[in-house]
């Protein structure tokens, strides 16, 4: 991580009068959004602003809360005097962290059985992660159906489409993948567990295990010679 990514500024812009947060890495951006800030994505920059139509004291409250949360996770925040605070709230791991362990488990797995067991956390039809995500999309669609704006019914239909069609395809494909792995019962050839034992016929006396050397990398062939330009 670049050292500069640990620095942010949260200030009221003198031109737009908006409270803007600039800088930071994806973790900082996640903290800002959980605090209530809205991302603004441009071609060469992503920054954050407070939501529109807030009273000035509510904007200051959000900015102060963001400063406190960022500093409590070791970010350096340059801010307006009105947003400065000595508060350092306790940082709790977000829900996404509990799902991230699935990827870690798959990367560490050495057999198809291990990966199948891990994927079941995603694909379980009643309480798997994807089933919960489906429920979130449906609940959000139901919320929009009675919200009142002209576009809300369209948003609700779009959310139901995502749940039924797009997420449905992902659930189906991952379920088939999980079931196929569950039936294979084989180790991954590139992820064998080192026994740290040396067989009696080992030729290298300094070897500490029987693991084979890494495969040799074949060098790329040299580029073809460039033909000399013909003289006129």
Is pLDDT of 229 > 70?
Answer: no
pLDDT band at 93 (very low <50, low <70, confident <90, very high): confident
Is there a contact between 65 and 35 (Cβ–Cβ < 8 Å)?
yes
Q: pLDDT tens-digit profile of 124-141?
A: 999 999 999 999 999 999
pTM of the model: 0.73
Share of the chain above pLDDT 70, in %: 86
Share of the chain above pLDDT 90, in %: 72
Architecture of domain 3-83: 2-Layer Sandwich (3.30)
Is pLDDT of 213 > 60?
Answer: yes
Please give the pLDDT value at position 106.
Answer: 95
Mean pLDDT of 159-180: 95
Q: Where are the domains of the chain?
A: 3-83, 95-184
Q: Which range has highest mean pLDDT (77-81, 204-208, 221-225)?
A: 77-81
Q: Buried (b) or exposed (e) across 36-67, using 16+ Cβ within 10 A? A: bbeeeeeeeeebbbbeeeeeeeebbebbbbbb
Is there a contact between 112 and 184 (Cβ–Cβ < 8 Å)?
yes
Q: Output phi, psi for 56, to 5 deg.
A: -60, -35
Nearest to 59, CA basis, from 23, 21, 5: 21
Is pLDDT of 14 > 80?
Answer: yes
Is there a contact between 70 and 77 (Cβ–Cβ < 8 Å)?
yes
Q: pLDDT tens-digit profile of 33-74?
A: 999 999 999 988 899 999 999 999 999 999 999 999 999 999
**CA gap 143, 138 in Å, rounded:** 9
Please give the pLDDT value at position 2.
Answer: 57
Is pLDDT of 222 > 90?
Answer: no
């Amino acid at each position: 991580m670049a050292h500069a990514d640990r620095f942010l500024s949260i200030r009221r812009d003198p031109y737009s009068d908006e409270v803007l947060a600039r800088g930071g890495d994806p973790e900082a951006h996640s903290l800002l959004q959980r605090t209530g800030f809205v991302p603004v994505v441009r071609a060469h920059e992503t920054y954050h602003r407070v939501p529109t139509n807030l009273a000035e004291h509510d904007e200051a409250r959000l900015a102060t809360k963001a400063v406190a949360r960022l500093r409590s996770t070791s970010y350096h925040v340059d801010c307006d005097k009105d947003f400065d605070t000595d508060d350092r709230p306790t940082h709790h791991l977000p829900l996404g962290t509990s799902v991230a362990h699935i990827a870690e488990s798959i990367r560490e797995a050495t057999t198809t059985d291990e990966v199948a067991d891990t994927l079941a956390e995603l694909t379980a039809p009643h309480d798997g992660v994807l089933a919960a995500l489906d429920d979130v999309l449906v609940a959000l669609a139901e919320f929009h159906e009675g919200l009142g704006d002209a576009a809300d019914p369209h948003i609700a239909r779009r959310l139901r489409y995502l749940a039924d069609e797009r997420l449905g395809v992902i659930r189906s494909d991952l379920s088939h993948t999980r079931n196929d792995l569950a039936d294979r019962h084989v180790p991954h050839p590139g992820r064998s567990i080192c026994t740290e034992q040396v067989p009696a016929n080992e030729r290298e006396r300094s070897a500490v295990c029987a693991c084979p050397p890494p495969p040799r990398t074949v060098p790329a062939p040299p580029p073809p010679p460039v033909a000399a330009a013909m003289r006129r």
